[in-house]
Each structure stands twice: as structure tokens, then as C-alpha cells.
Amino acid sequence: EPEVTQTPSHQVTQMGQEVILRCVPISNHLYFYWYRQILGQKVEFLVSFYNNEISEKSEIFDDQFSVERPDGSNFTLKIRSTKLEDSAMYFCASSYRDSPLFGSGTRLTVV
Amino acid sequence: SQQGEEDPQALSIQEGENATMNCSYKTSINNLQWYRQNSGRGLVHLILIRSNEREKHSGRLRVTLDTSKKSSSLLITASRAADTASYFCATALMNRDDKIIFGKGTRLHILP
């Protein structure tokens, strides 16, 4: 069964460093998403991507964040200068129309 | 209240009993989905119900949707220890397939 793959599963980074979280969505899907979940809190929408551009983004998704689909298979989330409060589980998801399928997440720890 | 709020926040029941979780939302939706999350793990899609549907079944899961009350319920019958997890409802707003919004979730604990 196809699945969304995220790497790495856990990343530790120093405050101020750049991180890139990687995702391989399901191949025939059209919509791509990033969500995050701070420990013990709700899953928050960050950004959606359709037709090679951002279709929606939340207020969390500020200038420190960017997304890319560089080669038609990968979908990346970059955080330019990480802050302590960026520590969270980051989920990638993809869908053909609705029912996004989620990856197992990348746990980002900023120290 | 926020778009997509589950209640109760936490629920403990004996194995074998049925578990019912509710979700309320504010604005018109295209569909509503339920997800499960085991502690510290990924989100598993359980079931999607569209705005023109009233009830859907999948194995031991039964989901209802009442658009007039802007609410949904998830029923897990004959609960098992493996059902222990957090359950989230997520709504896709009308004409907005590119964004779903999660509630805070219900933490379900099945007691042996």
C-alpha cells in the first residue's frame, strides 16, 4: 500500500541553524501539506501546496519557513533559523483530492 | 469555540465497552475526517464522511454527521486495548480541499 515517507524520523539541531525536513508524497497525489504538532498540543496546519505553488498558509508559516518540490517526487520544508519553539513533530501529508494520508512525522528538537 | 472541537478531552472505558467521541465545528464543511494517533506516532486516517452523508461504517467504527447541528460522532464498538490512542476530527471547509483543520483530540484509554 502506498505511503507518505518522511525523513529523518528525528532531528536535533542547534538554535539558529537551518533544517530541511524531507517528504516523499504518494506519486499520483496532487495536494501536499505540512502540519506540526507541539508536544501535547493539537495538530496545526502550516501550508498546502498545489500545482507547484503554495495554495494556503497559516500565520505560523512566516518568512522563516519555505517549501519546495524540487524534483517531482520530494516535498521539503525548510526552516531557515530555528528557534526553541520550533521543536515539534512535523507531519507531511498528500492527497489526490481529499482524505490526506500522513507520514509518520519528523520529530524536530531545537536545543 | 474553534473549528473542530472534540469532547470529551479524555475517556477511559473497560475493554469490550463501546467508546463514543464527539466533534463539533463552526463553519460549513466539505467533509469531516477522523484520525487516530498513538502516543508520539503518526496520524492514521480512519474514515471520511462527506457533508451529504449521515452515517458511515468501517469495521468496528461508526461515524455520524449532523450538519444541522455541526457535529459528528465516532463510535468504536467492542473496544480493545489496541484502541488506546488519541482521536482527532479534522474538517475540510466548503470548497477548500487544500486545507483540513484538526481539533484538539480525545485521549481514549482502554482499561484491561
Whether residue A45 and residue B105 make contact (CB cut-off 8 A), yes or no, is no
Whether residue B102 and residue A42 make contact (CB cut-off 8 A), yes or no, is yes
* pLDDT tens, residue by residue, A8-51: 999 999 999 999 999 999 998 999 999 999 988 889 999 999 98
Kindly state the DSSP code that residue B17 receives in the 8-state scheme.
Answer: S
Looking at residue B2, its pLDDT comes to: 53
> Do B76 and B61 touch, CB atoms closer than 8 A?
yes
For testing contact with chain B, the best of A1, A3, A10, A43 (most B CBs within 10 A)? A43
B43 interfaces chain A, CB cutoff of 8 Å: yes
Indicate the residue type of B45: H
Please choose, from the candidates A21, A18, A40, the residue with its C-alpha nearest in 3D space to the C-alpha of residue A90.
Answer: A21
* pLDDT tens, residue by residue, B3-44: 777 889 999 999 999 999 999 999 888 889 999 999 878 889
Looking at residue B30, its pLDDT comes to: 87
Banded model confidence at residue B98, pLDDT cuts 50, 70, 90: low
> Do A69 and A31 touch, CB atoms closer than 8 A?
no
Q: Which residues of B touch A48 (CB under 8 A)?
A: 98-99
Whether residue A56 and residue B96 make contact (CB cut-off 8 A), yes or no, is yes
How many CB pairs lie under 8 A apart between chains A and B? 58
Q: Which residues of B touch A96 (CB under 8 A)?
A: none
**Cα distances (angstroms) measured from residue B78 to each of A5, B56, B110:** 32, 17, 11
Residue with cell 490526506: A100
DSSP characters over B41-106: S-EEEEEEEETT--EEEETTEEEEEETTTTEEEEEE-S--GGG-EEEEEEEEETT-TT-EEE---E
C-alpha cell belonging to residue A70: 524540487
Residues of A with CB under 8 A from a CB of B: 31, 33, 35, 41-45, 48, 50, 55-56, 89, 91, 93, 95, 97-105, 107
C-alpha cell belonging to residue A87: 521543536
For B3, half-sphere exposure in the C-beta direction (CA atoms, 13 angstrom radius) is 18
Looking at residue A71, its pLDDT comes to: 85
Phi-psi region of B52 (alpha: psi -120 to 50; beta: other; left: phi over 0): alpha
Residue A53 in 3-state DSSP? Answer: strand
Mean pLDDT (whole number) for A75-100: 93
B25 interfaces chain A, CB cutoff of 8 Å: no
Helix (H) and strand (E) counts in chain A: 0, 11
